[in-house]
Amino acid sequence: MALVESVPIAGLSVYGIQQKDYTVEGVANCDYVKAASIAMFQEANAIEAETSSYAAVLKARQKKLDELGWALAVIVKAVASLTTNKPESDDKSAADVDLKTASQILDKYRRDTNADMKLPVDGDFKVRRDDATMAQSALQYEIDYETNEMQQDMVTMQSLVSKRDNAFSTAASLVQKINSTASTLIGNMG
C-alpha cells in the first residue's frame, strides 16, 4: 500500500491536528481516516489472498494422502494374499492389476528420504513378499509424515483465518467508530 503524505491543508481539524492530504495507490485528496480504512482493508484482503493460496496447498496434500492411502490398501491386500504357512521371500502375491497403479503412485511420490517406497510389479501383476512388505512399511512412514505435515498446515491455516477475521473486524470497527464520531460532531454542532 502506498500512503504518501503531501501538502498540508491550512488550519486545524476538529481533532486538534493539522490535516494533511494523502495519496493512496493513485487516489489523490484522501484524508487520513479514509487512508487508514483503505490500508486496513488492503491488509485483510492480502491475508485473504494468502489464505486462498494456502488452501490450494492443503487440497494438493489431501489428494496425495488419498492416493497414498489407496495404494496402501492395494499393497495390504497383496500381502494378505500371500501364504502364511511357508513364508519365503520369493513368494508372490495374487495377481492384481491395481498393483501396477499402486506402483506408479509410489514412483510419483518417492523422495530421497524415502527411497524404499517402490513396488516392483511383474508382468503378471504380482509382487514378491519382500518387495510388498518393504513398500508397505515405507508407505506407512510416508503417510505418517504427510499426516503430520497436514496437521501443521492446518494450524497455520487456522492462524491465517484468525488474522484475516481480525483484520476485517478491525477495519469494520474503525469505519464504524469514524462514522460514530462524525455523527456525534455533527450532532453537537446543531
Higher pLDDT, 186 or 103: 103
Higher pLDDT, 168 or 58: 58
Dihedral Cα 120, 125, 128, 131, nearest 10 deg:
30
What pLDDT sits at residue 98?
Answer: 92
**Mean residue pLDDT across the chain:** 79
> Domain extents for the chain?
55-161
Q: What are phi and psi of 13, to 5 degrees?
A: -90, 180
What pLDDT sits at residue 27?
Answer: 62
Instruction: Please return the burial class of 22, using the count of CB atoms within 10 Å of its CB with bins 0-12, 13-18 and 19+.
Output: buried
Q: What are phi and psi of 29, to 5 degrees?
A: 55, 45
Higher pLDDT, 50 or 19: 50
pTM of the predicted protein model: 0.67
Segment of 1-5, 12-16, 89-93, 144-148 carrying the highest mean pLDDT: 144-148
Name the residue with cell 504518501.
4
Confidence grade of residue 176 (pLDDT, cut at 50, 70, 90): confident
Checking if the pLDDT of 3 tops 50, the result is: no
C-alpha cell at position 19 = 490535516
Order of strands, sheet of 3-12, starting from the edge strand that comes earlier in the sequence:
3-12, 18-24, 27-30
pLDDT tens per residue, range 117-163? 888 999 899 999 889 999 999 999 999 999 999 999 999 889 888 88
Note the maximum CA span of the chain. 99
pLDDT tens per residue, range 84-112? 776 676 788 889 999 999 999 999 988 87
